[in-house]
Structures are given as structure tokens and as C-alpha cells.
Chains A and B, each alone.
Chain A
Amino acid sequence: MSKLTSLIAGIIFGIGLTISEMINPEKVLGFLNLFGGWDPSLAFVMVGALVVTTPFIFIYKKQKPLFAESFSLSQKKDLDNKLIIGAVLFGAGWGLAGLCPGPAISSLAIMNISSVIFVVAMFLGFYLSKFINVQSS
């Protein structure tokens, strides 16, 4: 069952990215263009998502997931170098093309060569990260 619910959650997430137009890098770059013509839409996407997720996770984490033994939640608390360096690199890449992982993968739906190049490079980054060792502090 967890396979089916993974697929369904992915589909709904992809539909959300499409309705909100976050699948379109032009919209995302419009949000990041704070000092030019600014498009605040992305902030409303986050608010929309948080309105649902914040109360739900808070209440439901005391229960048990339906198709798993337990919840897998990150227990990390420390603000280490890895977190900051990773966020800086990600932010730079995000600002260059206007794509983050979700929209990049969803945008493969329109079979655009640009999306394919980005996703291949992103997976190369995931692979190479195994060989990069950033000291925690």
C-alpha cells in the first residue's frame, strides 16, 4: 500500500506545483527578483501549504502512520556548517535557473530538453555529494 500512496502523494504534489505555477521557473525567478519586478506568489504557495501541514503534523504525530511502523522524522538540532553551506549552494543554483528539485522533476512532464539537462545535472550532484565531506564545525 505504501507504494500506491507514494504515487498518489507525488501526483497531488505535482498538481499543486502546476496550479500554483511553481513549475514555471519564470514565476520562481519573479519571486527571487526582489529588487526588480517582484512577484510575491511563491510566498502565498508556502502559506497555503503551511496552513494545512502545520496543524496536521502537530496533531497527527502522536498517532501512527497507516502503512509504516513509525514516523521517520529528522532529529537533527544543531546549526552546523553543512546546513549553511548546503543552503548557500542550493540558493545559488535555484537563483540561476529558477528550478528546485520538485518543480524540476515535475517539469519533465512537458518533455523539454532544458528540464532534462537540469535534472541530469542535479542527479550528478546527488551522486557526487557522496564523495564530498564537509566538516560539521
Chain B
Amino acid sequence: MTIINFTPVSAFIGGLVIGIAVMLFFAFNGRLVGISGIARNFLNSNDKRFDNFLFLIGLILGPIIYQLFSKEAVTINITNSTYLLGIAGLLVGLGTSIGNGCTSGHGICGISRFSLRSIIATITFMIFGILTVFVTNLI
């Protein structure tokens, strides 16, 4: 194992900011931020649809506002294979629906509450993420 591109300071600060967002949503709206749940309920349920919609709009505005103030371009390097993106998106949509959570809902909020379900889910999706990267690197 070699460590590369490690940015601990910006990662930690970004994490604190994410934590503040979770904290506000909990204190004001009484809900924990689970982005897969927010996005799925926006699509599938009438309950709090507009709240969910506005949260998703906020997610998109976040990087735009950051860029406005920092004057730094946001770098995003992403595969351009339509096939790969389609399969990956479908798996993420199905998996987070069936397992009831993603990196935010299980990985941050669930672990904050010491939920055994979320700890197990987080370990599982991390192991399978690591295995997937390992296998794709071989191909």
C-alpha cells in the first residue's frame, strides 16, 4: 500500500461542514440527512416532497456558491463511459433503496447514533466498493 493524493486538512474541514449541515437539518427539520432517502422520497412520495426537492437543489447550489466565493474551480474527474455510468447509477439507486441508506444516512448519521445496522451496512458497502475497484483495476 502506498499513500497518494492525501489531503487530510481539507477533508477534515469539509467533514466538519457536512456535520454542521446534518446538525441543522436535525435541529430544524427533525430529520437525519440521508441523501438517498431524500432523493428517493422526492421521486416516490408526496410526503415533504417540496422540502426534499429544496434540499436537492441546495446540494447543487453548494458547489456553485463555493466557487463564487473561493474563486477556485471545482475539479471533477469522472468516467465518460455511458455504459459504466448507467450500470453504476442503477446499482447505487437500487442498492441504497433496498438497504435503506447510503454514505450519508448509514455512514454518517447512523454511525453517529451507534446504530448496529448502519455500522454493518457501512462496512459492507466499503468492502464491496474496495473489491470493485480492485477487480476493475485488474481488467
Contacts and interface: CB of A to CB of B under 8 A. Distances in A.
Contacts of B17: 12-13, 15-16, 19-20, 48
A68 to B, nearest CB: 4
**Max chain B C-beta neighbours (<10 A), residue from A24, A37, A53:** A53
Given A20-B15, A86-B97, A1 B103 contact: no
Contacts of B5: 27, 30, 37, 39, 41
Contacts of A51: 15-16, 19
Q: Is the interface of A mostly helix, strand, loop or mixed?
A: helix
**Max chain A C-beta neighbours (<10 A), residue from B17, B80, B100:** B17
Given A6-B52, A6-B54, A82 B100 contact: yes
A3 to B, nearest CB: 6
A32 B85 CA distance: 17
A13 B7 contact: no
B137 A17 contact: no
A96 B131 CA distance: 10
Interface in A91-137: 91-102, 104-110, 112-115, 117-130, 132, 134
Contact of A101 (B2, B52, B104): B104
B102 A102 contact: yes
Interface of B: 1-8, 10-33, 35-36, 39-40, 43-44, 48, 50-52, 54-67, 74-80, 82, 84-104, 106-113, 115-117, 120-122, 124-134, 136-137
Interface of A: 1-27, 29-30, 32-54, 56-58, 60, 63-74, 76-79, 82-102, 104-110, 112-115, 117-130, 132, 134
18 contacts: A16-B18, A17-B14, A34-B130, A34-B133, A39-B6, A41-B10, A76-B117, A82-B99, A93-B91, A109-B74, A112-B76, A119-B89, A121-B88, A122-B93, A123-B39, A123-B93, A125-B95, A128-B93
Given A3-B54, A100-B96, 8 more contacts: A5-B24, A11-B58, A12-B20, A42-B11, A48-B13, A49-B18, A117-B82, A129-B93
